[in-house]
């Protein structure tokens, strides 16, 4: 990675897996990192690395705005938003419990939208910013027992493309990260 001294990176889902790896990497490259998650124990371990942490549920718009506000309070800027928070789901469509599909959309898709909605105005004012939205190959390669997760990730693909078009020429870049199946723990024993 490039030298990130003086830059601020906000990462959702920072307590474990991909989010934790990126939080530690950004911090080791000199960035001030603000990591949020619902996993307090995982966040405590991150704080030992000099990472600012806060407990926040990304399915709550006000909580996500609070994370961006915390970054501004602590560092005065938001240079990178890394939307990573997520959860796994391996349920057939006919077996989805009431609210299960909605929860998947709330965490993955709405959380991503809430983050961009809070960060883009800050980045516009700064004249630059980078947004990375973690997607999945499930967005483009549907599989059985993966409808809720795949639909949420496909939604992120659409809003990412839209946000990229809306911010073109503003100094803000919106990108998507499509990791393959990664042993992060969200899939339980499926790996």
Spatial separation of the C-alpha atoms in residues 173 and 120, rounded to whole Å: 10
Query: What Å distances lie between residue 120 and 111, 163, 185, CA to CA?
Result: 14, 9, 31
Secondary element (H or E) of residue 13: none
Query: H-type helices in 29-77, by residue range?
Result: 40-47, 61-75
Spatial separation of the C-alpha atoms in residues 27 and 51, rounded to whole Å: 7
Secondary element (H or E) of residue 81: strand 80-83
Catalytic residue check, 149: yes
For the CA atoms of 181, 184, 190, 191, the dihedral, rounded to the nearest 10 degrees, stands at: 60
Spatial separation of the C-alpha atoms in residues 54 and 57, rounded to whole Å: 10
Tell me which of 129, 133, 149, 163 is the catalytic residue: 149
Take residue 34 and report the two structure tokens written for it: 């603000």
Spatial separation of the C-alpha atoms in residues 69 and 152, rounded to whole Å: 26
For the CA atoms of 22, 51, 70, 160, the dihedral, rounded to the nearest 10 degrees, stands at: 0
Q: Which residues carry out catalysis?
A: 149
């Amino acid at each position: 990675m490039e030298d990130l001294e003086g830059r601020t990176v906000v990462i959702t889902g920072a307590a474990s897996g991909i989010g934790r790896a990126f939080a530690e990497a950004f911090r080791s490259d000199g960035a001030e990192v603000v990591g949020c998650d619902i996993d307090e124990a995982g966040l405590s371990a991150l704080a030992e690395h000099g990472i600012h942490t806060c407990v926040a549920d990304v399915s709550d718009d006000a909580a996500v705005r609070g994370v961006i506000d915390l970054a501004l309070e602590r560092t005065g800027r938001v240079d990178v938003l890394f939307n990573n928070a997520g959860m796994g789901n391996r349920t057939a469509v006919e077996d989805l419990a009431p609210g299960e599909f909605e929860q998947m959309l709330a965490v993955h898709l709405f959380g991503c939208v809430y983050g961009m909605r809070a960060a883009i105005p800050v980045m516009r004012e700064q004249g630059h910013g980078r947004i990375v939205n973690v997607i999945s190959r499930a967005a483009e390669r549907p599989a059985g027992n993966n409808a809720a997760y795949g639909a949420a990730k496909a939604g992120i693909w659409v809003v990412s493309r839209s946000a990229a078009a809306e911010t073109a020429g503003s100094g803000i870049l919106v990108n998507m990260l499509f990791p393959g199946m990664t042993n992060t723990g969200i899939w339980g024993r499926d790996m």
